[in-house]
């Protein structure tokens, strides 16, 4: 028997607060949800790119977002996640084993509904944009269901036959022009064709801009025919916003990760800066669209390389850095939120909670159970105040 136990008092108070918070009325999914994922983009990847682009006083576009938090990234079977498991967590709200694309492993392997599928079921338009191959694990987790991330042909079949996103932009090693055309997609092959696309009348577009991963920003020249990530984002928004019911769009800066695996600071920085431009493109779209129920989130699936920034050298100069691993790490990654429901971005969150923010379902227990928690908290607080403990 304890009397006025401080730890128990603290616990009772949290029961009360948690119960009252969880008992709030549910809110509707925002009309438009735009999720940016910088693959491998940890805090120091953001810092290094900001130092190069703007110097010590500058920041990237999304660093000005009003709501920010840390995200834990472990998968169901490892402290260090891969892109498949992390994207599955964000897309479905469920932990999965590394390598798994939105199916229940651990578990019976059933398909886990994704935020993209929920959006489509609600009549919204949907889209996936990446600088990697379109069948890469990150976009795949939002619109495919496979036990292995390496089943690229099967992932593409899920896109075309099951989930049918309105926009599929990226590399296309496993998605051919004939496949896309047979599935009633308009196909564009380069930046000029994308720019010339009539986005007012086109509803389903496959942008096949490379035979695999797209060209690093740093390696592009005047002759490079591929669109930039910011240009793909702008075109995707112009297509998707024709739907009066709204849309869901996932945009991946996929080559940040590959550069970090190689400890290629130069290419990693330029990929991150272009990723920031893509986010600014979405912000500009939101401003021009007028008042709307739009949520923009910017985060990462994991950190890559164990990057540490030692010192900035000024704008236009690469910072002094060290790397600790050629692989992923288990470090927390940032998340930045703007717009509808972004106030739920706070503190330290698990990556599964990102799904709940996008779906506007932050509750983890029914309202009746939440009220029961609050009631228990009130009772315990009252007992403590009377200095009796049963």
Q: Label residue 263 by pLDDT band (50, 70, 90).
A: very high
Summarize the confidence of residues 317-336 as an average pLDDT: 98
Please provide the average confidence, as pLDDT, over all residues in the chain: 89
Summarize the confidence of residues 346-366 as an average pLDDT: 84
pLDDT tens for residues 242-253?
999 999 999 999
pLDDT tens for residues 138-196?
999 999 999 999 999 999 999 999 999 999 999 999 999 999 999 999 999 999 999 99
CA distance 314 to 56: 7
CA distance 49 to 219: 17
CA distance 215 to 217: 6
User: Active-site residues: which are they?
Assistant: 83
pLDDT, greater one: 21 or 27: 27
Antiparallel, parallel or unpaired: β 328-329 and 303-304: antiparallel
Pure H helices in 30-158:
43-54, 83-92, 115-121, 137-143, 152-158
CB 304, CB 260: distance < 8 Å: yes
CATH no., domain 32-362? 3.40.720.10
Lowest mean pLDDT among 91-95, 160-164, 199-203: 199-203
Concatenate the DSSP letters of all residues of 307-353 into one string: -EEEE---TTSPPEEE---SSEE---EEEEEEETTGGG--SEEETHH
> Looking at residue 109, what is its pLDDT?
97
For residue 240, give the DSSP letter: H
For residue 159, give the DSSP letter: I
CA distance 337 to 68: 6
CB 228, CB 217: distance < 8 Å: yes
pLDDT tens for residues 64-91?
999 999 999 999 999 999 999 999 999 9
Q: Label residue 28 by pLDDT band (50, 70, 90).
A: confident
Q: Label residue 130 by pLDDT band (50, 70, 90).
A: very high
What is the pTM (predicted TM-score) of this model? 0.87
Summarize the confidence of residues 126-138 as an average pLDDT: 98
């Amino acid at each position: 028997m304890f009397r006025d136990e401080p730890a128990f008092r603290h616990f009772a108070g949290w029961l009360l607060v948690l119960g009252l918070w969880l008992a709030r009325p549910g809110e509707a999914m925002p009309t438009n949800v735009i999720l940016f994922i910088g693959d491998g983009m940890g805090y120091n990847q953001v810092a290094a790119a900001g130092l190069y682009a703007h110097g010590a006083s500058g920041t990237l576009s999304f660093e000005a977002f009003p709501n920010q938090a840390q995200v834990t990234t472990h998968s169901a079977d490892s402290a260090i996640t891969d892109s498949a498991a992390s994207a599955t967590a964000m897309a479905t709200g469920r932990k999965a084993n590394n390598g798994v694309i939105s199916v229940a492993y651990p578990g019976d392997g059933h398909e886990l509904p994704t935020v993209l599928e929920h959006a489509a079921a609600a009549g919204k338009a949907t889209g996936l944009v990446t600088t990697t191959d379109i069948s890469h694990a990150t976009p795949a987790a939002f619109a495919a269901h496979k036990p292995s991330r390496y089943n690229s042909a099967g992932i593409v079949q899920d896109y075309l036959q099951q989930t049918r996103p309105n926009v599929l932009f990226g590399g296309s090693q496993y998605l051919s022009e004939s496949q896309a055309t047979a599935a009633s997609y308009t196909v564009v092959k380069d930046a000029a064709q994308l720019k010339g696309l009539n986005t007012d009348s086109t509803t389903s577009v496959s942008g096949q801009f490379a035979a695999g991963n797209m060209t690093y920003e740093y390696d592009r020249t005047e002759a490079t025919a591929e669109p930039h990530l910011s240009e793909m984002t702008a075109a995707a928004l112009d297509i998707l916003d024709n739907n009066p019911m709204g849309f869901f769009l996932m945009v991946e800066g996929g080559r940040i990760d590959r550069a970090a695996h190689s400890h290629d600071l130069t290419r990693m920085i330029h990929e991150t800066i272009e990723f920031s431009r893509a986010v600014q493109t979405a912000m500009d779209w939101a401003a021009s669209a007028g008042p709307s129920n739009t949520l923009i989130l910017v985060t990462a699936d994991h950190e890559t390389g164990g990057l540490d920034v030692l010192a900035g050298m000024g704008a236009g100069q690469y910072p002094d850095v060290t790397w600790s691993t050629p692989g992923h790490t288990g470090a927390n990654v940032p998340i930045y939120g703007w717009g509808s429901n972004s106030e739920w971005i706070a503190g330290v969150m698990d990556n599964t909670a990102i799904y709940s923010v996008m779906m506007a379902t932050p509750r983890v227990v029914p309202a009746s159970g939440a009220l029961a928690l609050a009631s228990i908290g009130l009772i315990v607080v009252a007992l403590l105040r009377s200095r009796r403990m049963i």
